[in-house]
Structure 1
Amino acid sequence: MEQHSPSIRAQAVALMRQGVPNRVVAEHLNIPRGTIGWWRSEDRRKRGEEYEQPTDCPQCTGRTFDAAAYAYLLGLYLGDGHIISKRKQHHLSVFCNATQTGLISAAAEAMRKVMPQPNVSQRHKTGCVEVNSYTRHWVCMFPQHGPGKKHARRITLEPWQQDIVDAHPWEFVRGLIHSDGCRITNWTTRLVSGERKRYEYPRYFFTNVSDDIRQLYTDTLDKLGVKWTQCTRNGNPYNISVAKKASVALMDTHVGPKY
């Protein structure tokens, strides 16, 4: 390992204390960035200074953010998303079907629009892609986070979240459908002039075990004038159907199938 003189180290520390970034100090003194980072860490330790990762969290900084993107991301989170918040591991994850590349891109874009600073990455698993954004501050943006599964605890929106959903209801609905919903084509047969013919019609389904999350979905549909029905399958009332022609047309205009 290359040894550096105490004067060079002192110069580097002085620059860092002035707020000069590690990269700039490293380039100015022609020293590896890893060495600069180590010196900064040691200087903080000696001074008893606890390092806090910079953040652009809207809740902590008061920064304005893309509310429409947040409404969509909220829908994704309530469906197939979760937050890991441990001592050394903090991230928001949204799970997407690996074949739905448009959804994967939309999830990553929404995360970046709400909080541009954290790193966003993708983790490929069998049949799915986990889109991650790394920062402890996602718990600030999603106070619904807690121990255990979402359907096992009360899920309600904070007033500021409800204001965003009220302002961007279609984005919220789209996020919910893109996570725990689908657009399918049903079919049946009818007698027409004595001849049985096949008749097809599109339908939207939203399936979620949480009574609270289904209620958030149907309350929003009511405000949008979308007609829905509850479907019980295998004795479980977890499915919300939108099948009326006019309502399906509204959903097609603002939501559409996942891709």
Structure 2
Amino acid sequence: MNFHGTEVRQRALALLRDGTRAAEVSRRLDVPPGTVTYWLHMDRAKRGECPGRRDPKCPRCDGRELDEAAYSYLLGLYLGDGHIIQYSGHRVPSLMITCAESWPGLMDECEHAMRAVFPDNSVCRVRRAGCRNVKVYSNHLWCLFPQHGTGMKHERPIVLEPWQQEIVDAHPWEFVRGLVHSDGCRNMNWTARLVGGERKRYEYPRYWFTNVSDDIRQLYTDTLDKLGIEWKHCTRAGKPYNISVAKRASVALMDLHVGPKY
């Protein structure tokens, strides 16, 4: 292995700053191209010229325009199946929404919402067993999702900031849709009835929403109330974590604005 002293490095940087291409510097000084590129990157970073060190503007910090409809939907997804994490050694934290492989349309909508809310940030999908994590990287995630905290969501208070509530009030269906797409579903329920003395099976569609957090369920039902949707609590297996929408008119409205996962 060849070691290049400070003098060689300074000569290389002087040439690079004068506009000499990295490949030419490598040839002149007999230094590997990767080493020259690394020196160039570190020099630009120290001088604040590295593009990667410039964070895109934030709607909360810098007043950048925010796609509020997309944000309302993404907020619903986050409260259900999302979390913010910063791995050791990673400079930028990520918002991760876990989507089952059986719902490719949901993954597409999640990614579309992330790109609309964070138009200048990196968005990707990471494959996991039976699911994919849709991720966006930003140093301003805590600005837009102040509900982030230590521990599980149901173990701490979840309260919307006034500016978030204004967005949800302006785009309630997007918020409901995000919550249902994360922790809800549309399925067919059935019951048996006596019709003319004969016992017959009767089926009807119903929307379920299941979340352990009392606060998140309250956010869901408060929004349903504002939309005129009839709902009720359902206890299953002794756990009162379920919200049911089964009235025909309410289901019709949910079908119009939410619809099943796909």
Structure whose alpha-carbon radius of gyration is higher: 2
Q: TM-score, normalised by structure 2?
A: 0.85
For residue 139 of structure 1, the aligned residue among 138, 142, 146 is 142
CA-to-aligned-CA distance 1:87-143 (integer Å, 9 cap, x gap): 633100001111100001111111110002221111112211111112232111100
Structure 1 residues 143, 193: CA separation in 2 closer, same or farther (over 3 Å shift)? Answer: same
Asked if structure 2 preserves the Cα contact closer than 8 Å seen for 1:56 and 1:115, the reply is: no
State the 1:214 CA deviation. 0.5
Asked if structure 2 preserves the Cα contact closer than 8 Å seen for 1:13 and 1:40, the reply is: no
| 1:9 equivalenced with 2:13 (yes/no) | yes
Aligned position for 1:68: 69
Structure 1 residues 128, 159: CA separation in 2 closer, same or farther (over 3 Å shift)? Answer: same
| 1:215 equivalenced with 2:222 (yes/no) | no
State the 1:198 CA deviation. 1.8
Structure 1 residues 43, 110: CA separation in 2 closer, same or farther (over 3 Å shift)? Answer: closer
CA-to-aligned-CA distance 1:160-219 (integer Å, 9 cap, x gap): 111110000000000000000011100112222333322110000100011110010000
Aligned position for 1:162: 165
Distance of 1:61 and 1:55 partners within structure 2 = 9
Aligned position for 2:243: 240
Aligned position for 1:21: none
Structure 1 residues 188, 48: CA separation in 2 closer, same or farther (over 3 Å shift)? Answer: closer
Where do 1:7-46 residues align within 5 Å?
A: 9-13=13-17, 35-36=36-37, 38-42=39-43, 44-45=45-46
Distance of 1:30 and 1:7 partners within structure 2 = 9
Distance of 1:92 and 1:241 partners within structure 2 = 29
Structure 1 residues 195, 120: CA separation in 2 closer, same or farther (over 3 Å shift)? Answer: same
Any unmatched runs of 5+ in structure 2? 27-32
Aligned position for 2:185: 182
Aligned position for 1:191: 194
| 1:201 equivalenced with 2:177 (yes/no) | no
Where do 1:105-116 residues align within 5 Å?
A: 105-116=108-119
Q: TM-score, normalised by structure 1?
A: 0.85
Asked if structure 2 preserves the Cα contact closer than 8 Å seen for 1:26 and 1:33, the reply is: no
Any unmatched runs of 5+ in structure 1? 16-24
Distance of 2:154 and 2:82 partners within structure 1 = 13
Letter in 2 for 1:232: T
State the 1:48 CA deviation. 9.5
Distance of 1:248 and 1:229 partners within structure 2 = 13
Distance of 1:155 and 1:34 partners within structure 2 = 49
